[in-house]
Structure 1
Amino acid sequence: MKGQDYYIPAAAMAIALVFKLPALRNNWRDPLLRSVCVLLTLAGAVFTFAAPPTIDAVNEWTGIPNFSAPLVYCLMTAFSASCLVLMFNWRGGPAEEIRATSRRWISGYATVVVAIMVLFALGDAPEQRLRDFDTFYANTPYIRVMIAAYLLAHNVAAMTMVAMCWRWSLQVRGWLRGGLVIIVAGYAFSLTYDATKMSAVVARWLGHNLDDLSTYVAPPLASAGALISAVGFVLPLVCQRTSDSWQTWSTYRRLGTLWHEVQSTAPAGTPGVRMSWWSPAEIRVIQRESDIHDGFLRLGPCFDRRHRDAAYEEALAHGADEETARAVADAAMVAAAVRTSAADPEGTAAEDPGEGERVLIMADGPRDLVRISHALRHSPVVAATRRRATTADG
């Protein structure tokens, strides 16, 4: 593999990390978000430092032949640990249990990192090898143990991730399941990487030569596995957030009909809350809900249960279900109240006790308000109630 085969995935990891940094800055205490950022950082570092041009530059800069080998092994080991920690935070559960499990895995893999550096220091690897370090030094004292340690640690992490993600994928749906299946596919490549590396190293131990497996077959498998796994981790989080944002903006837009209807009764000169263009969609929805409820309070004296009951019965007669009929009934009462308020801005008609029992709308969150808004725009029952109210008030 050439340098760009490593640097392009590293750049992709860096771009993904840049997009996650604003969220991390605003919510840096979130362990899941921290785990994602650590994983992306380590994935990018593995790709960067495993590239042959970087290996040569690091060895030259440190003045230690093959110093890049334990450095890359340590980064791969840390990346394996970060994947496990992210998975435990992602799956959820009692916070203390997650922290304890994460600490155990971090401690175990930190021990492997220290062992790699100590074994490299004790061993003797004077001849620089950019592509075939594992097989060239497979029989060198201490170095052979270092190579076996990082491969074993990587293999344990890969098998754990495959088992954990596959079991979890059978219990969930949607983007999460898709991400877990992608992670399983990525770690299948990682397990194949481990198999080829171990085969080449064991062949050296037994006096045979399968160096091509380690030199030419394993690196593309490792790159593919790391990249696919990182995509599997990031994709559900990004897509779920995008989906949530889309749903929020959709709610804001669908509340528009009801909002415009009740805002038409606001006294002239009433100051509105100005929202900046960068205001989050969640804040816009909350403000629009607040405006609608304020409008209900203004229209309260004009609400007439007779309009709602008649519209409710009519909606049921047209085949609407209970939930839709209630929304149509509330929308009809709002439409009639708006016409009454417009025809009698002083509120004198509303004070007539003969108007019927006055009521309030008790909408349970934005979902009910969206149903009322939809009925206000599309229901023929509401349109008929509006016409009758306009005629009566006229």
Structure 2
Amino acid sequence: MVHWLLSGAVLIAFCVKAPGLRHTRSPLYASVCGVLLLSGLLYGCSNPDVVGFLNDATGVPNFAAPLVYGLLTAVSALVLTLLIYWRGGPRDQARRTAQWWLAIYGLIILAEIIMFILGDASVERRVDLDTYYARTPFIREMILLYLLAHTSAAIMAAGLCWRWVAEVKDPPWLRRGLRVLICGFLLNLCLDASKLTAIGARWAGTDWDFLNTKVAVALEGLCLIVTSTGFVLPLIGPRGKDFYTAVTAYRALHPLWRTLHRATPAIARDLPLPWWNIELHLMRRIAEIHDGRLALRPFRDPRVAAVASARAQTAGLTGDDTAAVMEAAVLVAAAHSKAARTQPRVPAGGTPDGDDSPLRREALVRVSRMLRRSPIVDAAHDYARKQEAPAHGPATH
């Protein structure tokens, strides 16, 4: 089941990326698609059920072995190529280096096939072939060859990422992705070490096959998950951070939006938006807040702002927090005045007291948070109600 899940997930990712090959000649993009395709095929073909099917279909016992080993070697080469192109630098130099690695690993794959043909692997082994044939001539060399190729690729890839992360300052998500990749390649080394240890135990006449059939199999899935995370983290990390920031801002703005909406229900727009596009929802909420502030323009009372400012100074607030609590107090008082049908302080077409110019998103978030939790806003609201009491009778408590 694990093999099917891993293979399916990677092949789905390949199907998503593959159409882009028609529109770009980027070797980096081609390397990404190649890694996804071959990794999906690798985990699919290493499934014991698929191994048995391939062996039966071809009539060659253990036919799947050189296929799986060849795919693993090819993936190792493409991962190195991907890292070379991803790091950047002179294009010609990167292309020459990548071509050298592809050529070397191509020869290794050819050697693995030749070793399999020369060897005798007449007994089908779907799970423990590495240890079962650990002392069989030529098959032994084929096994060691693919393991050494994979180990070498993991060491070189970890080294590339280690040197790269020492040079990278920004963006931070690239540094994080490289660190995760280093962990992934070190896990690959642990996987190879477990297999080589099991093989060495067979040479010494000891049965440590569990390192090959249990430990290594468990590490395979973990290696894929960690290395895949390292590759995609620089891409999805900033988007995830932006999404989280947008969701946080959207929720934080709700108290301010609710206050303005109660005072002026017409600010709410009945326009359908995709539920998943939080940025559009946030933009609409900010636009409605601006409309709500404009609707309260004639009801803004500078005396409320003065009371809030004095109380903010007493509470030790400064700078942006003082401005936010003043704006929150003015809006709450203005909303109350409008709801109470108080005569506007400013005639139509007049100029209001104070500043009601559009605020940046960060400023609106501060205003909303002050509105929700600051006692200064409540005090200023009480002051505004008392000011209105002579015109509307005694204030009720």
Q: TM-score, normalised by structure 1?
A: 0.71
CA deviations 1:285-341 (Å, max 9, x no partner) are: 222112112222333344455533442332131123433222112211222332344
CA contact (8 A) 2:183 2:226 kept: yes
Match of 1:5 in 2: none
CA distance in 1, matches of 2:380, 2:30: 55
Structure 1 305/146 Cα, relative in aligned 2: closer, same or farther at 3 Å?
A: farther
CA contact (8 A) 1:185 1:228 kept: no
CA contact (8 A) 1:315 1:325 kept: yes
Deviation at 1:192, TM superposition (A): 0.9
Match of 2:56 in 1: 60
SS in 2 for 1:357: coil
Match of 2:323 in 1: 326
SS in 2 for 1:386: helix
SS in 2 for 1:249: helix
SS in 1 for 2:366: helix
- Kindly indicate whether residue 280 of structure 2 is the aligned counterpart of residue 283 of structure 1: yes
CA deviations 1:134-175 (Å, max 9, x no partner) are: 8468643xx777555433321122113444556778887998
Deviation at 1:368, TM superposition (A): 2.4
- Give the percent of matched residue pairs that are identical in Structure 1 and Structure 2: 25
CA contact (8 A) 1:331 1:373 kept: yes
CA distance in 1, matches of 2:177, 2:331: 41
RMSD after superposition: 4.7
CA deviations 1:103-138 (Å, max 9, x no partner) are: 844762465246514662584346435344684686
CA contact (8 A) 1:328 1:382 kept: yes
Structure 1 81/256 Cα, relative in aligned 2: closer, same or farther at 3 Å?
A: farther
CA distance in 1, matches of 2:336, 2:164: 55
Deviation at 1:250, TM superposition (A): 3.1
SS in 2 for 1:264: helix
Match of 2:336 in 1: 339
Equivalenced residues, count: 372
CA distance in 1, matches of 2:12, 2:296: 45
- Kindly indicate whether residue 257 of structure 2 is the aligned counterpart of residue 298 of structure 1: no
Whichever residue aligns with residue 255 of structure 1, its letter is L
Q: Which residues in structure 2 correspond to 1:1-394 (within 5 Å)? A: 8-14=1-7, 16-17=9-10, 42-81=38-77, 83-84=79-80, 101=94, 104-105=97-98, 108-109=101-102, 112-113=105-106, 115-117=108-110, 120=113, 123-125=117-119, 127-129=121-123, 130=125, 131-132=128-129, 135=133, 139-140=137-138, 147=143, 149-164=145-160, 179=180, 182-183=183-184, 185-193=186-194, 195-196=196-197, 199=200, 209-210=203-204, 217-234=211-228, 245-266=243-264, 272-275=269-272, 278-343=275-340, 348-351=344-347, 357-365=353-361, 367-393=362-388, 394=392
CA distance in 1, matches of 2:134, 2:227: 35
Structure 1 127/23 Cα, relative in aligned 2: closer, same or farther at 3 Å?
A: closer
CA distance in 2, matches of 1:218, 1:52: 14
Deviation at 1:223, TM superposition (A): 2.4
Q: Extract unaligned runs of 5+ from structure 2.
A: 393-397
Structure 1 343/27 Cα, relative in aligned 2: closer, same or farther at 3 Å?
A: farther
CA contact (8 A) 1:81 1:106 kept: no
CA deviations 1:202-237 (Å, max 9, x no partner) are: x9xxxxx35867965335443233222223245576
CA contact (8 A) 1:10 1:45 kept: no
Whichever residue aligns with residue 118 of structure 2, its letter is D
CA deviations 1:56-113 (Å, max 9, x no partner) are: 3212213445432221112212333455466678xx766x769975884476246524
Structure 1 218/115 Cα, relative in aligned 2: closer, same or farther at 3 Å?
A: same
Q: Which moved more, 1:380-389 or 1:112-121?
A: 112-121
CA distance in 2, matches of 1:41, 1:179: 22
Structure 1 64/184 Cα, relative in aligned 2: closer, same or farther at 3 Å?
A: closer
Deviation at 1:259, TM superposition (A): 0.7
Structure 1 76/354 Cα, relative in aligned 2: closer, same or farther at 3 Å?
A: closer
CA distance in 2, matches of 1:335, 1:213: 77
CA distance in 1, matches of 2:59, 2:256: 72
Whichever residue aligns with residue 226 of structure 1, its letter is E
SS in 2 for 1:359: coil
